Amino acid sequence: MIKFGTGGWRAIIGEEFTKANIQVLAKAMADKMKAEGVCDDGIVFGYDRRFLSKEAMRWAAEVFAKEGIKASLINRSSPTPLIMYYCMVHGFHYGMMITASHNPAIYNGIKVFTYGGRDADELQTADIEKYIEKVNADEICPMEYDAALAAGLIEEINPLNEYLDNIINTVDMQAIRNRGLRVVLDPMYGVSETSLKTILLTARCDVSTIHERHDTLFGGKLPSPSAQTLRSLQNSVLDKKADIGIATDGDADRIGIIDDTGKFLHPNDILVLLYYYLLKYKCWKGPAVRNLATTHMLDRVAESFGETCYEVPVGFKHISAKMNEKDAIIGGESSGGLTVKGHINGKDGIYAAALLVEMICVTGKKLSEIAKEIEDEYGTIYLEEKDYKFSQERKEDIYHTLMIERQLPHLPFDVEKVSYLDGCKVYFENGGWIIIRFSGTEPLLRIFCEMPKAGQARLVCEVVEDFLQLQ
């Protein structure tokens, strides 16, 4: 069964991520493209460094070739944002990236991009699922790779320079060049090394890298930047007295940052830092977009500049759609993805990293100093976040209590309103909030809570944990 979630289709390798399913998905996409009459420009493919990613791309391309649809394959493992950029610039109606992004190593998956290099939205993925139902797997008869290559139905491409030049031409390379920053990179065994290193070296940064080798087990860790997974980066930054430590997730669309004091900056802080930088130092004007599990500090910054911050459900497709609608200058999520107006319609860890480096150089301040500047001006909000595993039975119970019966515990703060837009989000009168939702990418229940005073967020989480019997 192929089901799309928050960020594409993800499945355990050998269980559902199989050659047969990959080819069913490819056939469904080919049928959909034919029905829509958008086969002429073909489809573009990329893959990351996960186990079976390259093979999966080829298996899918062989199906498209058989259907007479040209498949352009990026000929080396690449960041997801690169393929989104390529789709956007070359006007492809569809693109596919073989990746399971930040999921554990036993997963792989496929992200589908639509016109403009956007993440396929729910309407699109529901439509793909309908086409999947109609595919007769026995009738799939792929064209052999070399034959398809010779017939011009598969082509191998390398758009890396195009993508890099676009970033190099957008960020203030001159400002970075003059500072000789010390940067430590942690691609988390994923795909960002070449791109990010090239950009930083072009700007004359002093770059050292950890975790760069190809390891499909991601060193036994989750390829998702967090305080727990970035301890080595933290140590390297301190050892090397670096100005910044930059990590990206498995497919480089998300970012994680260690500041000059060795402190892990939460993605919420990165988003706030960049929005503040764009408004205050670059004098940009425009709203921000965040998902409903992302810090309301962004709203405080927006308000202080006479701007608005819009809230959308989790999933970058919602962020980019709202950014377009409101002409927002930044959009991002607490899971570590962000983009800025004028760049691609999806999250890009490489571009975000380059912009942060630019920020340090243009402001002439250390990362920790800019963060302090923001704290002095806007105060602190206290965050608690936790993921919980559950059995299928418990999932149904929790879903029923929370989403069907809409029961809530007696909460220790006055409630302003409750939203069921994506999971259950309670907004408190004091500006705090808690959201309880099932992840759309992993079998986890996620809770985020932000409160104005220390200890309050933990207290609210404990009440919810007791009520839902979470461990």
Ligand X SMILES: O=P(O)(O)OC[C@H]1O[C@H](O)[C@H](O)[C@@H](O)[C@@H]1O
Q: Interface with ligand X by CB under 6 A: which residues?
A: 6-7, 101, 314-316, 333, 335, 337, 439-442, 446
Helix (H) or strand (E) holding 174: helix 173-177
- Taking the least distance from each CB to ligand X, the nearer of 143 and 314 is 314
Is residue 330 a contact partner of residue 270, using CB atoms and an 8 Å limit?
no
Kindly give the residue spans of alpha helices, DSSP state H, lying in 305-345.
Answer: 316-326
Q: Which amino acid is at 311?
A: E
- Taking the least distance from each CB to ligand X, the nearer of 379 and 443 is 443
- Number of residue whose CB is nearest ligand X: 7
> To the nearest whole angstrom, how small is the minimum distance from the Cβ of residue 216 to ligand X?
19
> To the nearest whole angstrom, how small is the minimum distance from the Cβ of residue 249 to ligand X?
8
Is residue 345 a contact partner of residue 116, using CB atoms and an 8 Å limit?
yes
> To the nearest whole angstrom, how small is the minimum distance from the Cβ of residue 450 to ligand X?
16
- Taking the least distance from each CB to ligand X, the nearer of 7 and 225 is 7
> To the nearest whole angstrom, how small is the minimum distance from the Cβ of residue 81 to ligand X?
12
- 3-state class of 461 per DSSP? helix
> To the nearest whole angstrom, how small is the minimum distance from the Cβ of residue 233 to ligand X?
20
Is residue 183 a contact partner of residue 243, using CB atoms and an 8 Å limit?
yes
- Taking the least distance from each CB to ligand X, the nearer of 6 and 226 is 6
For residue 313, how many C-alpha atoms fall within 13 Å in the half-sphere facing its CB?
18
| Neighbour-count burial for 237-275, b at 16+ CB within 10 Å, e otherwise | beeeebbbbbbbbbbbbbbbbbbbebbbbbbbbbbbbbb
> To the nearest whole angstrom, how small is the minimum distance from the Cβ of residue 322 to ligand X?
13
> To the nearest whole angstrom, how small is the minimum distance from the Cβ of residue 6 to ligand X?
4
> To the nearest whole angstrom, how small is the minimum distance from the Cβ of residue 69 to ligand X?
26
- Taking the least distance from each CB to ligand X, the nearer of 70 and 290 is 290
> To the nearest whole angstrom, how small is the minimum distance from the Cβ of residue 313 to ligand X?
9
- Taking the least distance from each CB to ligand X, the nearer of 7 and 95 is 7
- Taking the least distance from each CB to ligand X, the nearer of 186 and 333 is 333
Neighbours of 157 (CB within 10 A): 15
- 3-state class of 379 per DSSP? coil
Sheet with 433-438, edge to edge strand ranges: 382-388, 445-451, 433-438, 424-428, 415-419
- Taking the least distance from each CB to ligand X, the nearer of 195 and 441 is 441
- Taking the least distance from each CB to ligand X, the nearer of 193 and 253 is 253
Is residue 433 a contact partner of residue 452, using CB atoms and an 8 Å limit?
no
Q: Which residue has the tokens 């049928």?
A: 31
> To the nearest whole angstrom, how small is the minimum distance from the Cβ of residue 122 to ligand X?
12
Q: Which amino acid is at 313?
A: P
Is residue 5 a contact partner of residue 441, using CB atoms and an 8 Å limit?
yes
Return the DSSP state at 69. Answer: -
CA distance 344 to 346: 5
- C-alpha pair distances (Å), 269 with each of 57, 73, 255, 276, 374: 36, 36, 12, 10, 10
- Taking the least distance from each CB to ligand X, the nearer of 296 and 446 is 446
- Taking the least distance from each CB to ligand X, the nearer of 183 and 330 is 330
What is the 3-class SS of 381-441, one letter each residue? CEEEEEEECCCHHHHHHHHHHHHHCCCCCCCCCCEEEEECCCCEEEEECCCCEEEEEECCC
> To the nearest whole angstrom, how small is the minimum distance from the Cβ of residue 385 to ligand X?
11
